[in-house]
Amino acid sequence: MGLLDGQQAVVTGGASGIGRATARRLAEEGARVAIIDINGDAADDIAQEIDGTAHLADVTDAEGLRTAVDAAARAMGGITLLFNNAGIDAHHPLDETDDDVFDRLVAVNLRGVFLGIKYAIPALRASGGGSIISTASAMGLVGRKGIAAYGATKGGVVALTMGAALDFAAENIRVNCICPGMVYTGLAGAGPDNAAPVPDRQLPVPMARWGTPREIAAAAVFLASDDSSFITGVALPVDGGYVAE
């Protein structure tokens, strides 16, 4: 038996990196999984691998995302878990950050999470409750030079998580977020999901190594499972000690 037997999960940004690794882990633990991604071919590939469904949508497109979430609910017979994972990155000093780059960061990283929660809530209510997990970042908890705009959007996800947790606590809907540190993913030119090379430079992480998508997926499984049944409104660092230092 798996930790998530009988659950129906939606993963945004599930075609690559952390999203793909998490979709696999959710399926391994017994959940039915629907992938929502802007990359239709890659979403189809992972959905076929895990016997799930794939739905094409851009998380910044409200109507498109609502349609995809509704289609996922119909395909699975409901939704008990939403993993808001779609996101983008950008590293620039604040004064060198183009306005359109900032707007795109906000649209994908923050508005996309807002829309995901908003449009999944009816299905979660209909299921009698469930869990919402979003991917924030260690950079949403502490500052770092050259990444202010990105960190601001991830800090927004942390605040959105805490507020939404209070909005829905009485309805048996838990809302948490994961704050990854330096994780070796496809967005950074990674190879396999579960492999990270020995760093070729000193990483600013107490554990002195990359995290892997599989390690973030393990945290998502915990927050989705009954093992975390009394946890809501939490921003969980999975960062090799970065935030603590």
Catalytic residues: 150
Q: What is the dihedral of CA 127, 129, 130, 131, to 10 degrees?
A: 140
Cα–Cα dist 169/81, whole Å: 15
Angstrom distance (rounded) from CA 11 to CA 15: 9
Separation between Cα atoms, residue 240 and residue 55, nearest integer Å: 33
Please name the residue that has the structure tokens 């959710």.
26
Q: Which of 164, 175, 158 is nearest to 228 (CA)?
A: 175
CA–CA dist 165, 154 (Å, integer) = 17
Question: Coil, strand or helix: which one is 32?
Answer: strand
